[in-house]
Structure 1
Amino acid sequence: MGDIDIDKAVGVLRAGGLVALPTETVYGLGADAEDPAAVARIFQTKGRPPNHPLIVHIGGAEHLADWAEDVPEAARLLAERFWPGPLTLVLRRGGRVPLDTTGGLETVALRVPDHPVALELLNAFGGGIAAPSANRFGSVSPTTADHVRAELGDGVDFVLDGGPCEVGVESTIVDATSESLSILRPGGVTREDLEQALGRPLDVPSTSEVRVPGQHPSHYAPNARVVLVDPDELVAETRRAHELGHRVGVFLPSSLADAPGTVRAHAVVSVPVSLDAYARGLYGYLRELDEKGCDLILASLPAQEGLGLAIANRLRRAAGPRPA
């Protein structure tokens, strides 16, 4: 771990500055959630459209009523069960939350991060910290302090270095504005765990009228173009792309673990069998293939169960149509 000067970070936040903070999911670019000018700096530094709402990080479930109104019982149940943890609840905005922070919406996204440094900062600061991922809008999320420094540089006033992120993909976002909950973004808490806690199935709609982070068609994207292919076609597609002159990076699934010698690729990432390990490493793998000079990345989607649902979501967005 590097610099974890909590007092300094609190001073930066209170002065309207930006602090990159570690969470269990990815590093966040934090500002005082109640300071519109500081929040505006987040959007400016990331190049993020101002109508994209930010997640407000709070110090514990006991602070829920400070930030949200009309909290359904099902939402309270999930907060008790999964906070601190990689779960974000979208609720009716409380009067404490500026519209600048919610992207102009009457809803607010709240979570309690499961990271000792983040929790220490929140408790010392005594307020909410608005924090999207600490990277340029649409690009690969950062899972180490070095990723933040490399991408945002002097745009961040202070980087709290809490080591590598344990989960590696963003939080699950649940629409909890009514009792009929739904998953708006798969993430670090699995659909199966949420359903078990609630005792009923949850929808994962492909589109939603509720605006939340991570819904842009192209998101989590490296510099290289990402193309998704069927596992059975991966080796042949890699060879074809290589013959066309591409510097190909390939995510090699464990089912093809014996194939590295037959894969005509510039760089190969061997995907872990464990979905936990895959999620933890996903963004690092994408950055690694960029750093090795790949212009094309070929990958297959994992089975969409457990954390595989979140990994598949991130890979689909990474492969989405890029802005012109």
Structure 2
Amino acid sequence: METKIFTADTVKDAAALLKAGELVAFPTETVYGLGADATNESAVRKVYAAKGRPSDNPLIVTVADVATVERFATITPAARKLMDRFWPGSLTIILPIKPGALSPVVTGGLQTAAFRNPANALTRELIAESGNPIVGPSANLSGKPSPTTAAHVMHDMKGRIAGILDDGPAKVGVESTIIDMSTDTPTILRPGAVDEEMLEPVVGTVASDKHKVGAGETPKAPGMKYKHYAPDAQVVIVDHEVDFPAAIAWATASGHDFGVLATDPVLKGLDDTLTTYSLGKDLQAATANLFAGLRYFDLHPTVKVVLAEGFVAEGLGAAYMNRLEKSAGGEHFSPKAAQ
């Protein structure tokens, strides 16, 4: 299959492919998504096949407006407040769906679905032009780092999907916050750029569900059950800037080629023969650049270990560390263990 690139001038052509049951990747402010008509079960099944995604991992339904959500779900007053405050934007909202409104292939067999209205005008135009909401998982092979550019999508999906709508690099860099509004207490199932401090003035107390989903349990949101965001090399999180010299010494002693994924203050003064990737100057830049950095090391197949900078898991740091922890499989560098 030829994978075509579309732009703002050819968005109607991309929408025509969606109407025909084909897959088209699309840009958002967070990462690139993989779109298919959410009302076309055979098209949705193509998404699972293209990604190699487990079928019990539910898909986000991406919409152009709130009115579309009303076709499929019951919007509670609290959920509507969130939509009024944060949509379009980086917040995905789980709601109870109307009986038979969406295929179990979309929902993972649950009676809830996750809805998102992205802050990318070109994608909202694509959805509106196609006439139906689209499913929108990240447009990468399952388990790999999410794509933040059209080039990343092409790397993973060339020949697997019909097209990619290119609108430049994603600005946020990690997927949207997911909040479950089908429960008594609103619960964050995946942290993102919209954090608890931003949500609580709108809906009151917000819980954070940090449990791991069991083998026989269907997750209510993407990213809760399976290993995600992993490059070919083993990622090892270095929690403190002062630990990097010890971590580099440990990695050097291992005899394996290794890389360093860190902000400019950490990289400054390191041996320039090391394979490194700059996350930028601070946490905000690091979050935007994390997935691109993880993908960078797949271009260096001799690198077997990536030393990645950790941050305090608060605010945006919670979103960054959520993705990095999953990429590393929970592996942290321990200065004492390395001695």
| Fold agreement, TM-score > 0.5 | yes
Give the Cα separation in 2 of the matches to 1:230 and 1:305: 14
Give the Cα separation in 2 of the matches to 1:61 and 1:186: 22
- RMSD over aligned Cα, in angstroms? 2.0
Which deviations, in whole Å up to 9, do the C-alpha atoms of 1:167-224 show, x marking residues without a partner? 1100101011034101000013122211233343433433467521011342011111
Give the Cα separation in 2 of the matches to 1:145 and 1:137: 17
Counterpart of 1:23 in structure 2 is 28
- Cα displacement (A) at 1:106: 1.1
Counterpart of 2:239 in structure 1 is 230
Where in structure 2 are the equivalents of 1:142-153 lying within 5 Å? Answer: 142-153=147-158
Query: Sequence identity of aligned pairs in percent?
Result: 40
Counterpart of 2:324 in structure 1 is 315
Give the Cα separation in 1 of the matches to 2:278 and 2:19: 44
* Unmatched tracts of structure 2, length 5 or more: 332-339
1:247 touches 1:266 (CA, 8 Å); kept in 2?
no
Which deviations, in whole Å up to 9, do the C-alpha atoms of 1:66-104 show, x marking residues without a partner? 1212x3222111111111111111111223211111111
TM normalised by structure 2 equals: 0.88
Instruction: Give 3-state SS (helix, strand or coil) of 1:50's partner.
Output: coil
Counterpart of 2:306 in structure 1 is 297
Count of matched residue pairs: 318
Where in structure 2 are the equivalents of 1:179-194 lying within 5 Å? Answer: 179-194=184-199
Give the Cα separation in 2 of the matches to 1:23 and 1:319: 25
Give the Cα separation in 2 of the matches to 1:45 and 1:243: 40
Which deviations, in whole Å up to 9, do the C-alpha atoms of 1:147-184 show, x marking residues without a partner? 11111111010111111111110010101103410100
Where in structure 2 are the equivalents of 1:145-184 lying within 5 Å? Answer: 145-184=150-189
Which deviations, in whole Å up to 9, do the C-alpha atoms of 1:18-72 show, x marking residues without a partner? 0011111111111000111000000001000111100000111232211212x32
Counterpart of 2:280 in structure 1 is 272
2:26 touches 2:123 (CA, 8 Å); kept in 1?
yes
- Cα displacement (A) at 1:274: 3.1
Q: Which of 246, 249, 262 is the matching residue for 1:252?
A: 262
For 2:161, the aligned partner's letter is V
Instruction: Give 3-state SS (helix, strand or coil) of 2:159's partner.
Output: helix
Where in structure 2 are the equivalents of 1:14-93 lying within 5 Å? Answer: 14-69=19-74, 71-93=75-97
Instruction: Give 3-state SS (helix, strand or coil) of 2:158's partner.
Output: helix
Instruction: Give 3-state SS (helix, strand or coil) of 2:166's partner.
Output: coil
Where in structure 2 are the equivalents of 1:75-224 lying within 5 Å? Answer: 75-94=79-98, 95-207=100-212, 210-224=219-233
1:28 touches 1:132 (CA, 8 Å); kept in 2?
yes
Range with bigger deviation, 214-223 or 270-279: 270-279
For 2:6, the aligned partner's letter is D
